[in-house]
Structure 1
Amino acid sequence: MSSCLVTGAGRGIGRAVAVALSTAGHSVALTARNAAELAGTAALCPGPTLAIPADITSADGIEGVFAQVEKEFGPVEILVANAGGASSSPLAKITDEDWQAMLDLNLTAPFRCVRRAVPAMVDGGYGRIVVIASVASKVGEPYIAAYTAAKHGVLGLVRSAAAELARTGVTVNAVCPGYVDTPMTDQSVAAIVAKTGRSAAEAREILARKQPTGKLITVEEVSAAVLYCVSNGAVTGQALNVDGGALQS
């Protein structure tokens, strides 16, 4: 089976993806900033894992992660660029630092990971790249301009990379979730509570109603979409919505 790297693997979507890939028989390298959370993910994986604490907003951090994976597992054949984060602020109050932080984490870090992974994938004639994007890659909402701009950008990266690599055996896709039941959504709930005075339950219901199904997306639903992208070599350059029907293709 293949050598995998999952970024942001300590919790949430990244943890679910790592466990799913491991269950499918792959060797899975895990990276995130929090070593304890990585250990928790590794404990859930039935197959070989490699936990590498790192800050992937650093170019040196990314190089170190790839070098360690290559030493232990060989070249990365499946890359899931999941690490990301969101911020919320009125447009006029977004600072340059806020803007840059969203670009660094949600756009530049995935770009650097893709750039680092591609040469070995092309040389081997096989590769699967999946970026965890967002419905914010396709539509704008108030108060998340920096996050939305970064996610629109990363979808452009996916589409261009897929076109460039189409004849090489390497596929590049994005999975675009709606609001997922993760710690990041918990932060959104807390922000709504702080700004509006609503209860946490009311705030969570607001986010659940963003999906026509009336429910938050589960991490398992997202990881299933990732495995689909990994398993089907005819699927490339796509942005799969996992959003309860919010955006119809």
Structure 2
Amino acid sequence: MIQNTSLAGKHALITGGGTGIGLAMAQTLVAQGAQVTITGRRQDVLDSVATDGMFGVAMDVREETQVVDTIAAAVEARGPIQICIANAGVATGKAVHKTDMAFWRDMMATNLDGAFLTIRESLGSMRQTDWGRVIAVSSIAGIRGVPGAACYSASKHGMIGLIRSLSEDYMGTGMTFNSICPGYVDTEIVTRNTQSIANRAGISEEKALGIMVNTNRHRRLVECDEVAAAMTWLVGPGSQSINGQNIEIAGGQM
């Protein structure tokens, strides 16, 4: 883990910060001196991982009122948000002909609406400062289509479009907007998807895991700390000209 104090005094907000990529990012930012608000749906999970400098608050990114109130309270407690990481998301594959509107709307509400609401509310205080970094955790599915996951891919493409437009809106200010697009990462999501793929395809869990591993060009799962390292670069010194970009972390060209 990279350790320095370049972010001392900065307030960061990370949705989905209690597990996986979000937690790795939170731990990295705390190590750099930031005050970090982490959100997720379960307070008990957040409480179990929060350390000094990390503050867990239950929030469902699908619910506008919760997002508005939670972010306002975080700003009141810890000052303006200058690092906003829209990370909360769900990743479930389903063939289009089996996709009903309930599934579609929940995916969009979590991945795309959640990112929009989080960024919109964070900008309220960020715009009052002279520096800000906004990062959306998208996916390689936001760069190219993924078989059997049209809904998920559409939500992740939408996140990239949101970030690209915002980078144009705030061009030349002290704020930058970028997306990180990991391949398959070693998290609980992969564990759940391994079981789901095995059940749907009638194959072993070992073979199902192999399908995901082999999708990454270097034939291994990406580690959460690797994604956090990319975030460190995007919020660190010298990052001011990195704007409107999609950083792919999948072991090779996609």
TM over 0.5: yes
- Counterpart for residue 242 of structure 1: 249
- Counterparts in 2 of 1:46-195, with a 5 A limit? 47-195=52-200
Runs of 5+ consecutive residues of structure 2 not aligned to the other structure = 1-7
For the 8 Å contact 1:42–1:49, the answer to whether it is kept is: yes
CA deviation after TM superposition for structure 1 residue 204, in Å: 1.3
TM-score (norm 2): 0.93
| Distance in 1 separating the partners of 2:18 and 2:253 | 28
| Distance in 1 separating the partners of 2:192 and 2:253 | 21
CA deviation after TM superposition for structure 1 residue 198, in Å: 2.4
| Cα deviations by residue, 1:30-84 (Å, 9 ceiling, x for unpaired) | 10011121123213xxx41211011111001111221121121011110111000
For the 8 Å contact 1:19–1:41, the answer to whether it is kept is: no
SS in 2 for 1:123: coil
SS in 1 for 2:81: coil
Counterpart among 6, 21, 24 of residue 16 in structure 1:
24
| Distance in 1 separating the partners of 2:246 and 2:206 | 31
For the 8 Å contact 2:26–2:54, the answer to whether it is kept is: no
| Cα deviations by residue, 1:80-113 (Å, 9 ceiling, x for unpaired) | 1100012211111110111111110111111111
Counterpart among 41, 44, 48 of residue 40 in structure 1:
48
SS in 1 for 2:166: helix
1:27 aligns with 2:32: no
SS in 2 for 1:147: helix
**Alignment RMSD (CA, Å):** 1.1
| Distance in 2 separating the partners of 1:222 and 1:13 | 7
For the 8 Å contact 1:122–1:168, the answer to whether it is kept is: no
1:219 aligns with 2:224: yes
- After the TM superposition, list the runs of 4 or more consecutive aligned residues in structure 1 that deviate by more than 3 angstroms: none
For the 8 Å contact 1:210–1:246, the answer to whether it is kept is: no
TM-score (norm 1): 0.95
| Distance in 2 separating the partners of 1:241 and 1:139 | 11
Tell me which amino acid in the other structure corresponds to 1:129.
Answer: V
Tell me which amino acid in the other structure corresponds to 2:49.
Answer: T
